[in-house]
């Protein structure tokens, strides 16, 4: 991954990675709750709950356990699913019941972000592009998002490392 792979457009974060796997395989890893349990999240986190209703308007609700033992919950609300090309969803932190909440460690983190996952075929390999865009963010949320770029890059890089390791195991 090169520095040019990360967009610096205000209110949008983009990161890409090329995987040595067919895009259908990577798309499947993103659209199967049992598979997501095996790789989703930053390094050191484990998935403790994974429930998916994969359809426009459906949700993916998941819980993660951090290395310190604390639990964190997240929720996707799917807007568009085009197999095996892209997934568009609204991403937020949540509580165990699925309600939208603030980031547990950042009270000014945006409540919702539009997330687009693109899966581009590169001759049997797949270029995954993840784009996060702010939705209805206030000034404090925009500032928090802009100041978190390095952390987002680290978190997504770790998540993509976990996906690569998962795919390598077969």
What is the predicted pLDDT for the residue at 170? 79
- What average pLDDT is seen over the chain? 93
* pLDDT of the residue at 3: 38
Helices and strands of the chain, counted as H and E runs: 4, 8
Binning pLDDT at 50, 70 and 90, where does residue 13 land?
Answer: very high
Dump pLDDT digits (tens) for 66-99. 999 999 999 999 999 999 999 999 999 999 999 9
Joined tokens for residue 117: 């996952």
Name the CATH superfamily housing domain 3-164.
START domain (3.30.530.20)
Residues 5 and 88: their CA atoms lie apart, in Å, by 20
Helix (H, G, I), strand (E, B) or coil at 3: helix
How far apart, in whole angstroms, are the C-alpha atoms of residue 162 and residue 169?
11
- 132, 152 in Cβ contact below 8 A? yes
Cβ atoms of residues 16 and 128 within 8 Å: yes
Q: Which of 167, 170, 169, 156 is nearest to 45 (CA)?
A: 156
Task: Give the pLDDT score at 10.
Answer: 79
According to the model, what pLDDT value does residue 8 have?
A: 53
Token output for 17: 């990675």
Q: Domain-by-domain residue ranges, the chain?
A: 3-164
List helix spans (H) across the chain.
Answer: 23-30, 33-39, 139-147, 149-168
């Amino acid at each position: 991954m090169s520095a040019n792979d990360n967009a610096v457009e205000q209110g949008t974060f983009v990161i890409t990675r090329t995987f040595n796997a067919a895009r259908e395989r990577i798309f499947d890893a993103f659209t199967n709750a049992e598979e997501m349990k095996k790789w989703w999240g930053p390094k050191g986190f484990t998935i403790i709950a994974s429930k998916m209703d994969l359809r426009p308007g459906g949700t993916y609700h998941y819980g993660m356990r951090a290395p310190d033992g604390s639990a964190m919950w997240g929720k996707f609300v799917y807007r568009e699913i085009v197999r095996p090309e892209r997934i568009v969803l609204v991403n937020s932190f949540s509580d165990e019941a699925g309600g939208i909440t603030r980031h547990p460690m950042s009270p000014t983190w945006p409540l919702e972000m539009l997330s687009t996952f693109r899966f581009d075929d590169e001759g049997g390999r797949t270029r995954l592009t993840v784009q996060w865009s702010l939705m209805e963010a206030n000034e404090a949320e925009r500032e928090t998002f802009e100041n978190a770029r390095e952390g987002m890059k680290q978190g997504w890089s770790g998540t993509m490392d976990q996906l690569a390791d998962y795919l390598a195991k077969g």
